[in-house]
Amino acid sequence: MNKRADFLIIGAGIVGLTIGRELKLRFPRQSVLVLEKERAPGLHSSGRNSGVLHSGIYYPPGSLKAQVCRQGAIEMAAYHEEHGLPLRRLGKILVAGNEFDAPQLDLLADRARQHGIPIETLDAAQLAELEPETRSVNGRALLVPSTSVGSPGAVMQTLLEEVRKLGLELALDSSIVAVDTKNGTATTDKGDVIGFGHAINTAGLHADSVAHLFGAGKRYTLLPFKGLYWKLDPAAGFKINRLIYPVPDLRVPFLGIHTTTTTDGTTYLGPTAVPAFGRENYHGLEGVSLPELSRITGLLVRQFSAGRDGFRRLAMQEGRRYFKKWFAEAASAILPRLRPEHLLPTDKVGIRAQMLDTETGKLVNDFLVESGERSTHVLNAISPAWTSSFPFARHVCDNFIERN
């Protein structure tokens, strides 16, 4: 396949396809080619996320996440309804699992007001009435009525059909291995040469590697974290009406173990934030290579030694959660009567495409986009990227692609 495209998108996840959609809507006569290294789109983060349409309550004012998440949730819910896709408007309850986190309820309530997110403050009696299985150490909780759960798989399939009708071309089983930015060409692992006017890197777990081929994003490298889940045994008799989340530690980009009830009614507990020793290390030694193992281990040792942003506490806390007993103990902070025997194994697992800033030694908390020669690089499309994908695509087109 030796060809040329006005826009070359590398990676067919939710971010790549929504940017492709936006480009075809803006420039219907220009060609858009999406390269995907897998046999089908959305096999990694886009197809493995929880399906929760986040409200935006966690994100600090001025952050890119805060700018696009609330509108993204509105648009993603509307997309489900427009196309008849499964959607459950459950709402979310935030509780304080320990005394240290209790003051964060006030901070989150203040952020909700700043972002225009409707919330309700609950006392102990109201919480017990709405969610008798949970508790909050100070008796207070926040209800976010707007939070919904959708279907990532159904969205990906519908979106793929839509962009193909718009004229977007998709090439599967193709990876970029070399780039000539001066001449505007990219070479694939099959030896094909593709000419491009502008390239957009939405490669997720490989976004840093792709950016480095373009000479961009050199200060960033992937530090992947694995999200493991357990399924709540229906026979345990838990009555959970909404999504139940602990107040997160806002120093790190993880939300803690929480409940997610999917569109088919299954309730999961998770995810963890344990280190993954490969970019696609979902199970056992799958996706582990010696160079990546060495690179990631070295990064983890340096982060642990430096102890920035609560990393040591996070590492010790999450490391225990590999084991069912300690996972159940952590989950009991929001479901007090939960015991290990109430948890069933599941193959549900995801890997967070978390970037590390090697100059500051800090995990990147916000979405991160960087311009390169003839190119735009989406380097940190972590949660809530799925929720935010439609307005985020507009943001990338407005502020990077059209200005490059």
**3-state helix/strand/coil string of the chain:** CCEEEEEEEECCCHHHHHHHHHHHHHCCCCCEEEECCCCCCCCCHHHHCCCEECCCCCCCCCCHHHHHHHHHHHHHHHHHHHCCCCCECCCEEEECCCCCCCCHHHHHHHHHHHHCCCCEEECHHHHHHHCCCCCCCCCCEEEECCCEECCHHHHHHHHHHHHHHHCCEEECCCCEEEEECCCCEEEECCCCEEEEEEEEECCHHHHHHHHHHCCCCCCEEECCEEEECEEECHHHCCCCCCEEEECCCCCCCCCCCEEEECCCCCEEEECCCEECCCCCCCCCCCCCCHHHHHHHHHHHHHHHHHCHHHHHHHHHHHHHCCCHHHHHHHHCCCCCCCCHHHEECCCCEEEECCEEECCCCEECCCCCEEEECCEEEECCCCCCHHHHHHHHHHHHHHHHHCCC
Task: Reply yes or no on whether the pLDDT at 372 is more than 90.
Answer: yes
Burial 9-19 (b: 16+ CB within 10 A, else e): bbbbbbbbbbb
What is the pLDDT averaged over residues 168-177? Answer: 97
Is omega for the bond preceding 384 within 30 degrees of 0, making it cis?
A: yes
What is the pLDDT averaged over residues 197-203? Answer: 98
Share of the chain above pLDDT 90, in %: 88
Among 183, 201, 206, residue whose Cα is nearest residue 193: 183
Q: What are phi and psi of 299, to 5 degrees?
A: -65, -45
Which structure tokens are listed for 166? 């718009």
Contact, 161 vs 176, CB < 8 A? no
Contact, 26 vs 216, CB < 8 A? no
Among 289, 271, 285, residue whose Cα is nearest residue 354: 271
Please report the pLDDT score of residue 1 as a whole number: 61
Per-residue pLDDT of 318-348, as tens digits, reads 878 889 999 999 999 999 999 999 999 999 9
Q: Quickly state the pLDDT bin for 11 (edges 50, 70, 90).
A: very high
pTM above 0.75, yes or no: yes
What is the pLDDT averaged over residues 137-164? Answer: 97
Query: Cα–Cα distances in Å, from 275 out to 228, 306, 347?
Result: 11, 17, 17
Among 289, 263, 264, 257, residue whose Cα is nearest residue 276: 289
**Stretch among 207-221, 224-238, 240-254 having the lowest mean pLDDT:** 240-254
What is the pLDDT averaged over residues 26-52? Answer: 96
Q: Compute how many other C-beta atoms are within 10 angstroms of the C-beta atom of residue 66.
A: 19
Please report the pLDDT score of residue 403 as a whole number: 78
Contact, 130 vs 101, CB < 8 A? no
Task: Reply yes or no on whether the pLDDT at 157 is more than 80.
Answer: yes
Task: Reply yes or no on whether the pLDDT at 401 is more than 80.
Answer: yes
Q: Quickly state the pLDDT bin for 128 (edges 50, 70, 90).
A: very high
**Mean model confidence pLDDT for the chain:** 95
Who has greater pLDDT, 176 or 103?
176
